[in-house]
Amino acid sequence: MTPATVLIDRSFLEALADPGHADHADVVSRYRALLDDYERGDIRLRARHDHLADLDGADDIVAPIERIHVAAQFRRQAGRLELAVAVDDDTAVTLVVMRRESIDRIASLDPWFDQVRVVRF
């Protein structure tokens, strides 16, 4: 059986890669816990390819994270999403990725994800 996937979003990745980020220490601690689960085979760690590409010099930190390519059709679907709560374009694409990849867990600093049916780490 394939373990559950945790999507690592842009806000989490940025805080993880930037020692000067206000939430860096908290995110590092949370990431270590996720890595422990990953190493036991309890979860998969995945992130959008475009979010990972924006991180300079963090390849060693994000090595266990599988990349999800964001297809053009994902972006088109994001543009057609009808949500009760306003969302920016990047978050809309993330929601489409989560739906298409059957992901219901996200490591994020964005409290917006508390409004939808996902588990936020």
pLDDT in tens, 28-61: 999 999 999 999 999 999 999 999 998 877 778 8
Answer for the pair 55, 35: CB distance below 8 angstroms, yes or no.
no
Q: What is the pLDDT of residue 120?
A: 81
Q: Look at 21-30, 49-58, 95-104 and tell me which has the smallest mean pLDDT.
A: 49-58
Strand partners, 45: 6
Reported pTM: 0.91
Q: Look at 5-19, 35-49, 55-69, 98-112 and tell me which has the smallest mean pLDDT.
A: 55-69
Strand partners, 4: 43
Give SS3 for 83.
Answer: coil
Q: How far does CA 116 lie from the centroid of its chain?
A: 14
Q: What is the pLDDT of residue 95?
A: 93
Compute the mean pLDDT over every residue in the chain, rounded to the nearest whole number. 92
Q: How far is it, in rounded angstroms, from Cα 7 to Cα 111? A: 15
Nearest alpha carbon to residue 48 among 18, 69, 74, 73: 69
Q: What is the pLDDT of residue 20?
A: 96
Q: What does the block give as tokens for 11?
A: 């806000």
Which run of H or E residues covers position 46? strand 43-48
Give SS3 for 67.
Answer: strand
